[in-house]
Amino acid sequence: MTDDVHRPSLGALQSLIYTPRSPQSEQPSLEVLDQLLLPNKKAYIPVKTTQDAWKVIRDMNVRGAPLIAIVAVLSLAVEMSAKSNVQGKDGFASLQAAAAWLQEAVVYLKTSRPTAVNLFTAMDEVLLLSQATTKKHDAVGACVQNAAPLVSAVVRFAEQMLKEDVESNQAIGDHGAAAILANLLPGQGVKVLTHCNTGSLATAGYGTALGVIRSLHKEGRLARVFCTETRPYNQGARLTAFELVQDQLPGTLITDSMVSFLMATQGLDAIVVGADRIAANGDTANKIGTYQLAVTAKHHGVAFYVAAPFTSFDLSLASGDQIEIEERPARELTQVQGIQVAPQEIAVWNPGFDVTPASLITGIITEKGVIHPFPSAGATDAKRRVPTQETGEARRKSNGTVGRGRRMTFDIPGFLNGEGAHQIPSSLPDAAAPTPSMELDSANVPSPSSGYVALSEENVALFLEKHVRDVWDLLGARTGAEVEISEVGDGNLNLVFIVRGPKNTVVVKQALPYVRCVGESWPLTLDRAFYEAAALQEEGRHTPRLVPEVRRERRRVWTIPEHLFIKFWAMSCDPLCCNLG
Ligand code: MRU
């Protein structure tokens, strides 16, 4: 560490104070901010041993996936340094003795809290380091009486982790802000919502989801951030609200139960949350309440992002149903600040986390860019032209997909290995509508991943209500409640919806960002979409009664990234056209 003391200046709060070894102090020291006392009191708890660390993690004086791991690792560094300075039974008699102690301490620290994977990954990395160090010294026949090489290795590892956490949070913040802004008009202010606490208090500094919000503010684009109270532990009300006030971000606190109404009445551009463990398919465990946010975001057509460093991925788990969910004590529900607010006898279920299925996630923001899901390989329009019978509810229950048989998939191992075309463009696209010459430029291949939100039977009416107001006259309806919507095909190039109103029927087509059966390796070129529209318009000029009117909507949020391409066939109830429905 170059600084004497680890005091991240990124966000007004310091979740911990780590003082490395220096000429003034023989060994490093650690103190953690007691988050249970916030927002009323700011006090630090000394952490001298792994027992101290276990207790502050278990009692949630410190919490948040990255911070739990950092505190655990720093406690190893601090206690090992202290032990290496003493002789006798409290010290380390040899390198092997230190390695054996470390092994036990790691097993013990892993029992503190089960859900956040960061702790487990960090502990396993420390063990690998220990094995490598011991092996190296065995091999060279070095003085194994001396535990110093292992102690130094653990200290270096802990200090590096502290530094890297802040760096990766800043990168997450910037990638996330770029992804959200890519869906908005230039200069447009952003309204976002976040849940739990993912800020400086959950990390070594800056934060993950709250880091994205900090970066939006830095860009001058944050209109408002709504934070949920996050019952039952109130991390949102106590900690996120505190961070927002400290950093003077435009924040509004709401209860968890207000989110759907907020979306319906005030509009929201995106939700950004953190993660405690992300399975290989993108299913994400995060603070209880996250799942219901994702469900209502889907319903309201709001982008739902998870922001997390690579250390939050657990590729050993194929899906989220394998994630262990911590159950917290009943008193967290029945009491508020020690005051009983529910009958003591009532049975209580208090899971600390829930799992959001990957199919509800717009993108996972990491320090290396944003991972976007893609519709899994499927049949062509023709094969999938099935009349809608089952309800959305029945479909969701049957296979967890939203929309007709369309399962969104993440290729997380591919992304982590640097394969695939998942990254958002490094510069933000120009919001201006493409000029005619650009429209037919075959070299103009969009990134398949920037902010694409797939339409579904559930959100197409909302899209029309929000963005295509004049279509309602055509339909002869005032709201989504007065139209009937069915998805008739989810092929390789387009998603197709029939919207039937009292007066007319409209076909809504949304282009996919790439050719589905091939995957992201074959992005759909813009000219493919524009040629289709141009051809239809041309046909319409020659045979107006046979070809429906085509309209394009340039709304980025719903489009091939950077370019909207939605097509409408507004059909009168002319029998010649009705076969399409
Ligand atoms: O129970 P907590 O407060 O440790 O839960 C914290 C969360 O769920 C956070 O959202 C998650 O750890 C990400 S923190 C960057």
CATH of the domain at 53: 1.20.120.420
- CB of 483 closer than 6 A to ligand 1? no
pLDDT of res. 374? 65
pLDDT of res. 8? 43
DSSP class of residue 91 equals S
What domain range includes position 62?
3-165
Question: Taking the CB of residue 104, how many other CB atoms lie within 10 A of it?
Answer: 10
- CB of 198 closer than 6 A to ligand 1? yes
- CB of 278 closer than 6 A to ligand 1? no
- Residue carrying the six token digits 């944050």: 222
Does residue 39 have a cis bond before it (omega within 30 degrees)? yes
Q: Same structural domain for residues 318 and 276?
A: yes
Distance CA 241, CA 228 (A): 9
Distance CA 74, CA 16 (A): 10
Q: Same structural domain for residues 256 and 358?
A: yes
- CB of 228 closer than 6 A to ligand 1? no
**Of 105, 135, 165, which residue sits at a domain end?**
165
pLDDT of res. 524? 64
- 408 within some domain: yes
Atom of ligand 1 nearest to the CA of 207: 15
pLDDT of res. 408? 66
Q: Same structural domain for residues 249 and 120?
A: no
Q: Same structural domain for residues 160 and 177?
A: no
Q: Same structural domain for residues 263 and 410?
A: yes
Which phi and psi angles does 192 have, rounded to 5°? -125, 160
| Span 498-524, pLDDT tens digits | 888 888 888 887 777 677 777 666 666
Closest alpha carbon to 563 in 537, 516, 528, 535: 528
List, as one string, the DSSP characters of 100-161: HHHHHHHHHHTTS-SS-HHHHHHHHHHHHHHHHHHHHHHHTT--TT--HHHHHHHHHHHHHH
- 113 within some domain: yes
β 313-314/277-279 pair status: parallel
Domain harbouring 387, CATH code: 3.40.50.10470
- Beta-carbon contacts of 260 under 8 Å, excluding residues fewer than 6 positions away, are 296, 299, 300
pLDDT of res. 409? 74
Question: In testing the pocket of ligand 1, which one of 198, 332, 364 has its CB within 8 Å of the most ligand atoms?
Answer: 198
- CB of 194 closer than 6 A to ligand 1? no
- In contact, 270 and 303? CB cutoff 8 Å: yes
pLDDT of res. 142? 57
- Residue carrying the six token digits 């339409």: 455
Q: Same structural domain for residues 138 and 287?
A: no
pLDDT of res. 194? 98
- Beta-carbon contacts of 531 under 8 Å, excluding residues fewer than 6 positions away, are 440
pLDDT of res. 140? 61
CA of 432 relative to ligand 1 center, distance in Å? 39
- Beta-carbon contacts of 194 under 8 Å, excluding residues fewer than 6 positions away, are 209, 210, 213, 225, 226, 227, 228, 236, 240, 271, 272, 273
Closest alpha carbon to 427 in 171, 125, 179: 179
pLDDT of res. 407? 61
pLDDT of res. 398? 30
Question: In testing the pocket of ligand 1, which one of 36, 63, 228, 313 has its CB within 8 Å of the most ligand atoms?
Answer: 63
CA distances from 97 to 94, 400, 484 (A): 5, 50, 72
| Span 144-181, pLDDT tens digits | 668 999 999 999 999 999 999 999 999 999 999 998 98
- 207 within some domain: yes
- Provide the number of structural domains found in the chain: 3
**Of 112, 146, 165, which residue sits at a domain end?**
165
Q: Which two tokens stand for residue 458?
A: 């559930």
- In contact, 115 and 325? CB cutoff 8 Å: yes
- CB of 238 closer than 6 A to ligand 1? no
CA of 130 relative to ligand 1 center, distance in Å? 28
SS3 178: helix
pLDDT of res. 12? 57
Q: Same structural domain for residues 200 and 142?
A: no
What letters, b where the CB count within 10 A reaches 16 and e where it falls short, cover 281-310? Answer: bbbbbbbbbbbbbbbbbbbbbbbbbbbbbe
Segments in the chain below pLDDT 50: 1-10, 377-405, 419-450, 554-567, 569-581
pLDDT of res. 464? 80
Q: Same structural domain for residues 23 and 134?
A: yes
pLDDT of res. 560? 41
Distance of CA 242 to the CA centre of its chain: 22
> One-letter amino acid identity for 268?
L
Q: Same structural domain for residues 44 and 69?
A: yes
- The pTM score is 0.71
CA of 193 relative to ligand 1 center, distance in Å? 15
Catalogue the active-site residues: 276
- CB of 287 closer than 6 A to ligand 1? yes
- 503 within some domain: yes
Q: Same structural domain for residues 364 and 473?
A: no
* Strands of the 566-571 sheet, one edge to the other: 484-490, 494-500, 505-511, 566-571, 549-553
- Beta-carbon contacts of 478 under 8 Å, excluding residues fewer than 6 positions away, are 472
| Span 294-322, pLDDT tens digits | 999 999 989 999 999 999 999 999 999 99
Q: pLDDT averaged over the chain?
A: 79
- CB of 277 closer than 6 A to ligand 1? no
pLDDT of res. 410? 82
Contacts 24+ apart (CB under 8 A), 138-144: 144/94, 144/95, 144/96
**Of 165, 198, 223, which residue sits at a domain end?**
165
- Residue carrying the six token digits 């057509």: 301
- 517 within some domain: yes
pLDDT of res. 415? 79
Q: Same structural domain for residues 301 and 399?
A: yes
CA of 199 relative to ligand 1 center, distance in Å? 10
| Span 457-493, pLDDT tens digits | 888 888 788 767 777 887 889 888 899 998 886 567 7
Atom of ligand 1 nearest to the CA of 113: 4
Q: Same structural domain for residues 161 and 200?
A: no
For ligand 1, atom 8, the nearest C-alpha belongs to 287
Atom of ligand 1 nearest to the CA of 68: 4
- CB of 230 closer than 6 A to ligand 1? no
